[in-house]
Homo-oligomer: A and B are copies of this chain.
Amino acid sequence: MYTALLKHIQHYIPLNEAEEKEITRNFKVLQLKKKTVILEAGQTCKGNYFVAKGCLRMYFFDDKGVEQTTQFAIENWWISDYTSLALKKTSEFYLQTVEDSTIIVLETAVEDALLEQVPKLERYFRLMFQRAYGTSQHLAKYNHTLSREAHYRHFNKSFPDFVQRIPQYMLASFLGFTPEFLSKIRAKKDQPIS
């Protein structure tokens, strides 16, 4: 159950046996069916979620009651509402499984104790947040330069397997257009990026 997580951590920091035990003792495994909601807006987020298998997404409802997806996490990515976690304030987001998923969660209630027991995990999480934040800096650049259609093509080229896995309406929302517009773009697939 913990193999994917331990392997991922060990890619960044070495772990001895005692540390591995401490980690598996503190992280919880959740086997979740597709479309399970694990965080709702208005709740305080209570954990940091690692996707061992499957996919999670983050979304909110806009003023018109329409779901807007802001983020996806597939295998080997962490996802949570990090402001809600850090400030212990209620979240504005929902977290939901997109597929049947195996999620490993580090609950806020045990996080501090674990980080004291295995302080080198601070380094691991520092590297994870640095990576995620770096990605968001590049996303800001794409949002400035690429047309929505070019954004989709870039996304499609960078993550072809992922694009096949998720429902079209979620991808459309993430990219900021309607499912109809996405269908139109998909229909003229072979045109070059402009």
Contact = CB atoms under 8 A, between A and B. Distances in A.
Interface of A: 58, 60, 62-63, 68, 70-71, 81-83, 85-86, 92-93, 115, 119-120, 122-123, 125-127, 129-141, 143-145, 176
A137 B62 contact: no
Nearest to A125: B126
A70 B126 contact: no
- Identical chains bound together, number: 2
Contact of A70 (B92, B130, B133, B144): B144
Determine the main DSSP class of A at the interface with B: helix
A144 B71 contact: no
Nearest to A123: B122
A123 B70 CA distance: 27
Contact of A138 (B83, B131, B141): B83
Given A122-B126, A129-B129, A130-B82, A137 B68 contact: no
A130 B127 contact: no
Given A129-B129, A133-B132, A145 B82 contact: no
B137 A58 contact: yes
14 contacts: A60-B141, A62-B145, A63-B145, A68-B145, A71-B137, A85-B130, A85-B134, A86-B130, A115-B123, A122-B123, A126-B126, A133-B136, A136-B136, A143-B176
B134 A81 contact: yes
